[in-house]
Amino acid sequence: MGLDRRKFLKGTAAIGAATAAGFPQIWIKNSGLAYAAGEIKVGVLYSLTGTTAIIETSLNQATLMAIDEINAAGGINGAKVVPVVEDPASDPATFAQKARKLVVGDRCVSVFGSYTSASRKAVLPVFEKYNNLYWYPTLYEGRECSKNVIYTGAVPNQQQKDFVPWLVKNFGKKFYLIGSNYIYPKEENNVCKILLKELGGEVVGEEYVPLGHSEFSSVISKFKETRPDVIFSTVVGDSVVALHRQYKAAGLDPKKMPMASLTTSEEEIAAMGGEFAAGHFTSAPYFMSYDSPENHKFVEAFQKRWGKGKTTNFVSEPAYFQVHLFKQAVEKLGKKDLTPPAIREAAWGQEYKAPEGLVKIDPDNSHTYLWPKIGEAQTNGQFKIIEQSKEWVKPLPYWAYPGQVCTPEGLQQKKA
């Protein structure tokens, strides 16, 4: 007889558990299918066309490379990881549509994706409705607590807690806050202002430019007028390039008035040219120049797979290591009940030796313990790492809002 008592019990228990938790029944069918074919389907949802295609393509590549590595090493519990790649074309509506296809149509057990917060917000209803799991690699503004997302990028406390005091100590207390006009810069600046207040610092200007803005002459004349010690920049995309070029053209000196950025990576520097970035600072958990055996391996493999001149950055690194964390979670589950909620629970507390150092998914809030670093941009387009955290830093997505705390059950209000 093919069906013995133990297997039968296990099967019914799994179904019982699934119905109790109210998952759509699809998942029971799906896990069976996935293993029958010796395949684990995962979605890869990064734009290959449209406005954010350049950076998102690097995320797509890092993800595919990690999947290849896992498959080359024998897959997960003998099953192959099969990526279903979609191109959401930098458009939130297309993101939502493709997420539906991956979750409902292809029955992926997890999806790796998104760069912008707008696209993450657009796919969230899909993942919450179908109780699936989204792995999001980008640093972001925090203040989100979805049980259907694993966040592997930095949140404000991880990027700023050491950075702002360091800037105050080395350059002074007068900050000018400049950002692109959307939620991420505003939240980062909320955090920055709290830190500055504690340190007795002062904000001499706060300004938001439209996304894609490229004319900074009025902003730069305000720099000259207010003479800040630090220009704290959360400008994103093409605007970063324009800001750096016009800063230099205006004859400002990074030694006296450096730009301190949370968003300028090797990619932006490659676009503007190293001489325009040199002397400015960025805080991030990962830089391409970081000296660790894991990072050397990562950079080498990335360039071998995708081309010699390719750069890695602080978004593509999490895009890479989160796939390995996914693998460990699925491994831990063994062969039974491979459902997104089960993967999520197995992912909590997983540790992985990433290129930036040992990272861990925080079981408290599904964000990730990371290793913040401060880098100074060099003329060769790389960062010189001048400071790094002595220990991993716990992610606190609601750091600036003491009344609220993210828990595995969702957001909770702390009782006073």
Partner 1 sequence: MTRNRDAILRLVGYALFCAAILVVPLFVDNGYLLNKFARYLVFGILSLALSLSWGYAGILNLGQAVGFGLGSYCMAMALKLRTIPIQTGAGGLPDFMVWNNVQALPWFWVPFHSYAFAIAAGMAVPAVVAFLIGWFVFPARVSGVYVAIITLAMLVVINLVIIDQQPYTGGFNGITDLTTLKLFGIEFDAYSDATYYLAAITLSLCLFLGLAFVNSKTGLILQAIRDDETRVWYFGYNVAAYQNFVFCLSAAIAGFAGMLYTLVMEFASPTFLAVPISLSIVIWCAVGGRASLVGAALGAIVVTGVQGSLSDTPAFLDTWMLIMGGLFIVIVLFLPNGLISLIDLALGKRRRGRAATAAASVVAIERSESSRRQSAAR
Nearest distance from C-beta of residue 243 to partner 1, angstroms: 19
Q: For partner 1, give the closer residue by CB, 213 or 245.
A: 213
Of 34 and 236, the one with the shorter C-beta distance to partner 1 is: 236
Q: Are 247 and 216 in contact (CB under 8 A)?
A: yes
**Is residue 413 a contact residue for partner 1 (CB under 8 A)?**
yes
The single residue among 17, 35, 39, 48 that binds partner 1, judged by CB under 8 A, is 48
**Are 215 and 235 a contacting pair, CB within 8 Å?**
no
Beta bridge partners of 84: 43
Count the Cβ atoms, other than its own, within 10 Å of residue 343: 22
181 binds partner 1 (CB under 8 A): yes
Q: Please count the residues of this chain forming the interface with partner 1, following the rule CB under 8 A.
A: 39
| Residues whose CB falls within 8 Å of the CB of residue 191, separated by 6 or more in sequence, listed in order | 156, 157, 160, 399, 400
234 strand-pairing partners: 179
In the 8-state DSSP scheme, what is residue 101? I
CA distances from 355 to 19, 22, 93, 288, 386 (A): 40, 38, 33, 9, 17
Nearer to partner 1, 106 or 275 (CB): 106
For partner 1, the closer of residues 49 and 388 by Cβ is 49
* Residue span binding partner 1 (CB under 8 A) among the ranges 11-19, 181-189, 271-279, 345-353: 181-189
211 binds partner 1 (CB under 8 A): yes
Helices (H) and strands (E) in the chain, counts: 15, 17
Q: Which of 38, 74, 125, 363 binds partner 1 (CB under 8 A)?
A: 125
- Per CB under 8 A, the list member of 385, 404, 405, 408 interacting with partner 1 is 404
Our CB check for partner 1 shows the closer of 350 and 365 to be 365
78: left (phi over 0), alpha (psi -120 to 50) or beta: left
Distance in Å, CB of 359 to partner 1, minimum: 27
For residues 83-122, which are near partner 1 according to CB under 8 A? 84-87, 89, 91-93, 96-98, 100-101, 104-105, 116-118, 121-122
Over the window 241 to 260, marking each residue x when it contacts partner 1 by CB under 8 A and - when it does not, the resulting string is --------------------
Q: How far is the CB of 129 from partner 1 (least distance, A)?
A: 8
Main-chain dihedrals φ then ψ at residue 144, nearest 5 degrees: -140, 150
Residue 6, Cβ neighbours under 10 Å: how many? 8
Least separation in angstroms between CB 214 and partner 1: 15
Q: Supply the minimum distance, in Å, between the C-beta of residue 210 and partner 1.
A: 7
Which of residues 193 and 360 has its CB atom nearest to partner 1 in the complex? 193
Answer for which of 143, 193, 344, 373 binds partner 1 (CB under 8 A) is: 143
In whole angstroms, what separates CA 169 from the centre of its chain? Answer: 28
Ranges of H-type helices in 113-205: 117-129, 156-160, 163-170, 183-199
Beta carbon of residue 117, minimum distance to partner 1 (angstroms, whole number): 6
Closest CA to 379 of 239, 283, 284, 272: 272
Is 210 one of the binding residues for partner 1 (CB under 8 A)?
Answer: yes
Residues 184-203 that bind partner 1 (CB under 8 A): 186-187
Q: Backbone phi, then psi, for 359, in 5-degree steps?
A: -110, 160
Minimal distance in Å, beta carbon 222 to partner 1?
A: 19
Among 183, 199, 249, 386, binds partner 1 (CB under 8 A): 183
Residue 145 binding partner 1, by CB under 8 A: yes
In the complex, the smallest distance separating the C-beta of residue 76 from partner 1, rounded to whole angstroms, is 22
Instruction: Note whether 53 binds partner 1 by CB under 8 A.
Output: no
Distances (CA, A) of 347 to 124, 399, 407: 19, 23, 15
Least distance (Å) between residue 130 CB and partner 1: 9
Q: Which of 67, 124, 168, 338 binds partner 1 (CB under 8 A)?
A: 124
The first and second tokens of residue 405, run together, are 């705390």
3-state helix, strand, coil in the chain (%, to 5): 45, 20, 35
**Best CA proximity match to 171, nearest among 17, 325, 45, 279:** 279
**Is residue 120 within 8 Å of residue 52, measured between CB atoms?**
no
**Tokens 């897959």, located at residue:** 75
Q: Which tokens hold the place of 101?
A: 């296809």
Shorter beta-carbon distance to partner 1: residue 180 or 368 = 180
Judged by the rule CB under 8 A, the positions of this chain that interact with partner 1 are 48-49, 84-87, 89, 91-93, 96-98, 100-101, 104-105, 116-118, 121-122, 124-126, 129, 143, 145, 181-183, 186-187, 210-211, 404, 410-411, 413
